[in-house]
Amino acid sequence: MKPRKPEPSVQTSFEEAGVDAPAVPPSAANVKRRKLSLDDYVNGVRACDRAVLGRAITLVESNARQDQELAQQMLIALLPFTGNSHRVGITGVPGVGKSTFIEALGTNLTTAGRRVAVLAVDPTSGVTGGSILGDKTRMTKLSRDPNAFVRPSPASGSLGGVARKTRETMLVCEAAGFDVVLVETVGVGQSETTVAEMVDFFLVLMLANAGDELQGIKRGIMELADMIAINKAEAENAVSTRHAKREYMAALRLMRGAHPAWKPPVLAVSGLHNQGLDLLWDKIAEHREIFDKNGVLSSRRREQMRRWMWRMVDDRLLRAVRTHPAVAAQSAQLEAAVLEGKLTATLGAEAILKAFEKD
């Protein structure tokens, strides 16, 4: 009896097909059998070859030094073809229906002739090291759309990982010709700030009947919002939606906006029934037009690039300190001393830095 050949894993298939392709196209078979050169990556991305596009993003996401060097060469070659998309960050409180909303919005945009990339920033488990890559299954219609590209990306447990991988993936998608890039956040913690600093427009989805336990999350992200959209505003929620709209509009009047040229609107929408999404996109386009005319868009993007550079310095320095042999040799002892109250945290930090600086 002949041994059966092992079946390719679903993860491998997704990775090689750029995640959003249900099957590997025959034309890409030869490409996958060999190592791609810099020209292969650049030309494949520019041609929006989905097999090459998926491999290019995998290259960007890799932490291997050799891959990172090639990825940076690729990005430099692609930079002249980037910057032409609408970069929209989307966040929301738990249960707000981000995936349903994004699928409806994305489908509307592709129907109107736009090409849409969805980058879903997923949390990496601190226990198992696995990542929740469920957006592919939640956005089934958009995933099959030939003018859309859905790419879940593990955050690797650090905001630095979110920043580098998502920013650089966004550039790759722009170079491939996608003129709308939607970046979905996990909806909790500091990741909203990270994503808000890499997009042109930051959309916050809210619920009409959210409880008081969510007020802390609301306050922090509302200050970043360029628009608030109350999702699930179906007919049965009409009264609570009107009440919530008045509440959010009043709250925004007490907050300082991100820029005096734009007053964040509050809209009622339904991703499930595709209601209010055309008006929502018109507002995003209006924001783009205003900020493009007054030069704010270009200056904001330049400032984002400057901050990105220093964030990467911070991230790499921290990684270098943590992985330094002299630091690793002392870290357990220093941590124990701090935990037992024998050493202050400040002195512990100084000891770690001295160990790092010696080399």
Tell me, what's the pLDDT at 190? 62
pLDDT for the residue 248: 87
Do 96 and 208 lie in a common domain? Answer: yes
Asked if 27 and 101 sit in the same domain, the reply is no
Between 191 and 271, the more confident residue is 271
Provide the terminal-to-terminal Cα distance of the chain, rounded to the nearest Å: 60
Instruction: Pull the structure tokens for residue 131.
Output: 């990542």
22 burial via Cβ count (<10 Å: 0-12, 13-18, 19+): exposed
Alpha helices in the chain (DSSP H): 10-16, 29-32, 38-46, 50-61, 65-78, 98-111, 135-138, 140-144, 159-175, 191-196, 215-222, 238-253, 277-293, 296-322, 325-339, 345-357
Same domain, 346 and 314: yes
User: How would residue 8 be classed by pLDDT, with cut points 50, 70 and 90?
Assistant: very low
Q: Is residue 300 part of a domain?
A: no
Residue 146 lies in a domain: yes
pLDDT over threshold 60, residue 189: no
Residue 279 in any domain: the answer is: yes
- Are residues 201 and 57 part of one domain? no
Same structural domain, 324 and 224 = no
The pLDDT tens digits for 13-43 are: 444 445 454 444 444 445 456 799 999 999 9
Q: Which of 266, 293, 320 is the endpoint of a domain?
A: 293
More confident residue, 257 or 193: 193
Is the domain of 169 the same as that of 27? no
| Together in a domain, 203 and 163 | yes
Q: Is the confidence at residue 126, as pLDDT, over 60?
A: no
- Please give the pLDDT value at position 270: 94
Residue 351: CB atoms within 10 Å: 18
Residues 15 and 115 in one domain: no
Residue 3 lies in a domain: no
Domain count, the chain: 3
Together in a domain, 122 and 231 = yes
CATH classification at residue 318? 1.10.287
Answer yes or no: is 142 within a domain: yes
* pLDDT grade for 319, boundaries at 50, 70 and 90: confident
- For 275-289, the pLDDT digits (tens) are 999 999 999 999 999
| pTM for this entry | 0.80
Q: What is the pLDDT of residue 22?
A: 44
Of the two residues 125 and 76, the one the predictor is more confident about is: 76
Q: What is the pLDDT of residue 16?
A: 46
CA dist., res. 82 & res. 178, Å (int): 10
Tell whether 89 and 74 lie within a shared domain. Answer: no
The residue that leads in pLDDT, 215 or 175, is 175
Q: Note down the domain range covering 96.
A: 82-293
Kindly state whether residues 246 and 213 are assigned to the same domain: yes
pLDDT at 306 over 70: yes
In a domain, 110, yes or no: yes
The answer to whether residue 263 sits within a structural domain is yes
